[in-house]
Structure 1
C-alpha cells in the first residue's frame, strides 16, 4: 500500500474545529507535575465516524496542534472509552507536543458499532483506520502508535502486517498473549480475569459506573473467589453475564483451539518498526514485555526497554513523568527526526533494593545462575545437598487457601509488601540465608527447581524470592506458580519461572525463599481433587513435601557497571 503525498502544510479543505479539549482533561493536565511545557494549544474534533472493515462505525476523537505545520499522527485504539484517563494522557498531552492524536473506541465499546469480541477484530479494524487516515487532509503519511495494556495489544495487531506509514511504536505495560494474562501453567489467574472483566464491561461507560463496579468487585471478591462452583460467581458483582470472560476462564489449555491466533508473538519476530517497550517490575504483564523485547532483538529490530519500580497501574500514575518522557523522546526520534531526547543505551532499569536507575547496553538473554539450597532447619545455603530425601512438608487446605499478597497484579494491591504475616502461616515454608557481608546483585530471570511429592497427586506450588532487612521485614521481589501432577509418593520435578528482576541485596540483609501451595485469589485455589477450578465443588487438603534436591536459581548481576554488579552470589 502506498501512502498519500501531502503538502508541507495542511490542505485548506480541512477546517480545524474551534472546540477545546474536554474540561476534565484540561483539569487533569493542570495538576500534573514533572511534564514538559506545552508547545501548542490543542483543538478537538470529537465523534468522528471511521468505517471498520465490515462497515461498523468506529467512533473516534481527533486532537491536534492549533498551528500551521506538518505534524505526524499517533493512533490510539481503546476498548475503555475515550474519556479519562486516555483523553488527557494521550489526546491532550501529545497534541500539545506537536502530534495529531486519533483516539478511537474499539468496536462494541464507547459508542462504536459492532460487537466487542476481545482479540478477534483488532488487526482488521486497525488497518481500516489507517485506510481512513490516508484520506484525511491533515495526515502527512507519518504514523506512530502508543498505549498501555490492551491498547498495546491493538498495536501488535496492526504490526502483524504493518502499513508503510507506521514508523514507530510505544508499547506501555503492554499485552500480546491473552492466554498468559489469564493462565499460568494451566492455573487460572483469577484476580486478573475479574479485574479485566470489570474494565472491559464498565470502563468505557464512564468514570462513575466504572468506579462503582470496581468497588462492588472489591466488596464481593472473597465471596466470588471462594464460591463452589466458581463458574458464573462473578455475576454478583457484574450483574450480567460476560461470555468472553466465561470463555477465558474455562479454557486453561494453551493448545485449545479457543486460543488459536490470539497470541500476537509472531508480530515481534519479523517487525522492523522501531519499538519502545515500557513496563514495571510488579506489572502483571512484565514477562510479556521481556518476551517482546527478546523477539524484537532477535529480529534485528530497533528496540528500547524501560523497566521501572512500578505496577501495571502506577506506571501511568506515579511513573507517568518518566513514562511520558521516554515515550515522547522515542516518537520524536522516529517520527520527527529529533533524536536529542534519546538516552545513550537501549535498556534502562530500576535497581530494586538500591533504589537507583542503571543504563545497560542490552538485557541479558542467558545470564549465568547460582543455586541456593534449602536445609531442614529453614536455612538457605550454597552447599548442594547429598541426597534427594524429603526435606520438610506442609498441609495445604483449599478451604483456607494461602492468601496472595502483593506482587505483579493488575489491581492496586500489587507491588512489594511486608510478607511477615504471610510467612507466619503453617502452610508457608521459608528458607533464609545468613546476613550478607557484601552486596549480592541479581540481573535477569529468576527460577526455582522443585522436587515435590504429594499425598493426593494434585497441587499447585507457589515460590517467591524475598529480601529480609535488618529489622526482619520480608519484602517480595519476584515469584511464580506451577501446577503439579504427582504419582504415588515419588517426587515430581518442576522448574518454576519466577519472572525477571534487577535487584541488589544490601549488606546486612538476607535472601529468603518462600514456598507454599498457592496465592489466592490471585490464582484460583487448587481443589486437591483434579477437578477444574471453575467447576470444583469438593475440596481435599493436600500434604505437600519438598525434597532436598530443590533449588532457588538466581542470575548473577553484571559487573560491567559500578556500583551495581559488586558481590554476585559466588562471592
Structure 2
C-alpha cells in the first residue's frame, strides 16, 4: 500500500490585540526629550502567563509594533514589577523602534508565582521563558536582551547556557556578582544591603508603596545603621524581616557555600553573544562592569563599553538619551543587521573635569602605574621615601565612625561631592600635590599600596582620590576599601584597588589622596575587635599608623615630568 503523505500543518496565525500601553507609560513617554522619533505605533498584551521552570506562573506583558512584518524580540525580566519606569522605558520605547518586548516579573515578584530568590532561579526561568517564546506565532527566532541592575543579572543567567536564538545583549549598570554588591573584602556594604532590601521588597508593588518605603528608609537610616547589634535592626525601616537579606549580611566570606553559584562571571568568560556594556563612573556596579568587559574581551567576544558621568540611577534618568541611543544602536546592529548607529571605537568614556567624551580603542589604555608618595607634612610627591618609618597616625572610633560622602552609592547622595567637611575631621588623613602647571589626565586603573599597622590588629582603610580646584574645593574622583583583619599589630602591606577613572585635573588644580578608617554607613563600621559588624555590641577605638612607603598608584603618563 502506498504511504500517505500529509501537508505540513499551517503555521499558527496571530491577531494583534487592540490594547494600548498603560496611560501612565504613555504620559511618561511624552515627557522625554532627545530620543529618536518613533517608527511604529505600539500595542500592548498584558497579563500573559508563562510557566517557570517549576511550573510557577510568570506574569508577562507583551509590547509590539502595530505593523505587518517580522520583528526581533527583546526579553526583559525584572523583580521590580512591570509598571513605571520599565513599561515606558523598555516596553514602549523599544516597541516603537521595531521590537517585540517581553516584560516579565521574576518568580515571586509582581504577581508571579513561587518564591523569589536572589539568584538561584534565574537561569532555569530564563530558559523556560525562551521555550515559551518559541511557541508564539509572532516570535521570528531572533532574540535579544536588555536591562539595568538586576535586569542585567538575569541576562547573564540566560547567557550561562545561551539559547541559539540569543543574538545580542545590552547590560546597563548591570550586576553579575551578588557577593560583591554586598561585601568588599569582608566588609559589609551596609547601605547597599538596605537599599536593595527595600527595593526588592517594595518596588514591584507599585510606585506609591515603593516611594513610601524609600522615604521610611531615609528617615530611619541613622537609627538602623547605628544599632548594636545590626542583626535584625533593619526590620523597622523595611517594614518587616527579609530572610534573604539576613543571609547576605551574615555571610561575609566569598568562599562560603552560601554564595556557591551566585556569581555569573563564568558566563562572560566563555560568551559568544555580542554584548554592549553601559555604566557610570559613580555607578555602584562600575567595578563589576569593567570586570565583565575584561572577561568578554578575554573570551574574544564582540563587545562595546560606554562609561558616562552617571550614578546607578542617573544613568536611567539624566543619562537616558545616551543610554537608550547606545542600546538601540547595538541591538539594531546585531538583531536587524543595521550597523549604521554603531560608533567607530570599542570604548567611549566621559572624562570628568574636561566634561567631554573620548573614544578609545580598548580599556584600559596601555599604561603602567606611577607611584605618588605621602610626606609627613601632608604633601603628595613622586619622590620615593628612603625608608618605611611610621609617617603619621590617626584614631578611628567606631562610636563616631567616619561618615561616607558621595561616590558610587545607590542613594540620592551618590556621585561627586565637596569633601571639605569630611577632610576637616581628625580621623581623615589628606596628602595633597602641588598646583599643576598643565592639565593632567588620569585615565585607567587607580589603586593604593598601603603599609599600615593598627594597635588592635583589626581596621578598615578607606582611600580616595580627589580633585582640588583653585578655590580649595575638594571633589571625589574614585575610591576603594581595604581591610586589616589578621589581628597582627606589626605593619602590614595591603593593596587596595580603587575604581578606574577618566578625569582631567586642570592646570592650577591639585591631586589629593585621602586615607581614613571607614565610610559609614556605606560600609558597616569595623568594631576594631575582629567580631562581625553584624553582631558586634562592643566597639574599640583603633590607632591606625600609616608608614612612609605607602603610595597612590596612578596610570603612567598622568603627570607632568
Give the TM-score range, shorter chain.
over 0.9
The alpha-carbon deviation at position 239 of structure 1 amounts to 2.1
- Structure 1 residue 378 and structure 2 residue 368: aligned? no
CA–CA separation in structure 2 for the residues paired with 1:570 and 1:259: 45
**Aligned mates of 2:414, 2:401 — CA distance in 1:** 19
RMSD: 1.3
In 2: Cα distance, 1:35 partner to 1:11 partner? 37
Q: Which residue of 2 aligns with 1:130?
A: 130
Alignment of 1:260-339 (within 5 A): 260-339=260-339
Asked whether the 8 Å contact 2:526–2:533 carries over to 1, the reply is yes
Contact 1:441–1:556 at 8 Å: present in 2 too?
A: no
Match of 1:69 in 2: 69
In structure 1, what is the Cα distance between the partners aligned to 2:553 and 2:344?
A: 31
What is the aligned partner in structure 1 of residue 25 from structure 2? 25
Q: Report the alpha carbon displacement of residue 354 of structure 1 after superposing the two structures with TM.
A: 0.6
Deviation, 1:386, is 0.6
Counterpart contact for 2:346–2:361, Cα < 8 Å: yes
Give, in whole Å, the separation in 2 of the partners of 1:56 and 1:239. Answer: 26
Alignment of 1:526-537 (within 5 A): 526-537=526-537
Is 2:233 aligned against 1:233?
Answer: yes
* Structure 2 residue matching 1:425: 3-state secondary structure: coil
The answer to whether structure 1 residue 541 and structure 2 residue 541 are counterparts is: yes
Deviation of 1:485 (Å): 2.7
More divergent stretch after superposition (280-289 vs 484-493):
484-493
Partner of 1:499: 499
Shift of 1:366: 6.2
Structure 1, unpaired ranges of 5+: 1-5, 558-567
Q: Distance in 1 between matches of 2:529 and 2:269?
A: 40
Structure 1 residue 529: Cα displacement: 1.1
What is the CA distance between 1:24 and its match in structure 2? 0.4
2:455 corresponds to: 455
Call closer, same or farther: CA 1:362–1:226 in 2, change over 3 Å: same
Paired position in structure 2 for 1:213? 213
State TM-score, norm by structure 2: 0.97
Q: Which residue of 2 aligns with 1:344?
A: 344
* C-alpha distance in 2 between matches for 1:364 and 1:44: 43
2:464 aligned residue: 464
Residue 364 of structure 1 and its aligned partner are, at CA, apart by 1.9
| Deviation (angstroms), 1:556 | 2.8
Give 1:183 deviation, angstroms. 0.2
State yes or no: 1:35 paired with 2:17.
Answer: no
Moved more, 236-245 or 82-91: 236-245
Which whole-Å deviations, capped at 9, do the CAs of 1:110-148 have from their partners, x for residues lacking one?
000000011000000000000000000000000000000
Corresponding residue number in structure 1 for 2:400: 400
Superimposed CA distance per residue, residues 71-93 of structure 1 (whole angstroms, 9 cap, x where no aligned partner): 00000000000000000000000
Task: Name the counterpart of 1:90.
Answer: 90
Aligned partners of 2:68 and 2:152: how far apart in 1? 31
How far apart are the structure 1 equivalents of 2:26 and 2:485?
Answer: 55
How far the C-alpha of 1:569 sits from its partner, in A, is 1.9
Q: Distance in 2 between matches of 1:69 and 1:489?
A: 71
In structure 2, the residue matched to 1:359 is: 359
Shift of 1:440: 1.3
8 Å contact from structure 2 (residues 438, 560) kept in 1: no
* Whole-angstrom distance in 1 between the partners of 2:543 and 2:402: 14
1:268 and 1:367 mapped to 2: Cα distance? 25
By how many angstroms is 1:344 displaced?
Answer: 0.4
Aligned to 1:564: none
Q: Deviations over 1:246-274 (max 9, x none)?
A: 00000000000000011000000111110
TM-score, normalised to structure 1, is: 0.96
Residue 544 of structure 2 is aligned to residue 569 of structure 1: no
Offset, 1:13: 2.2
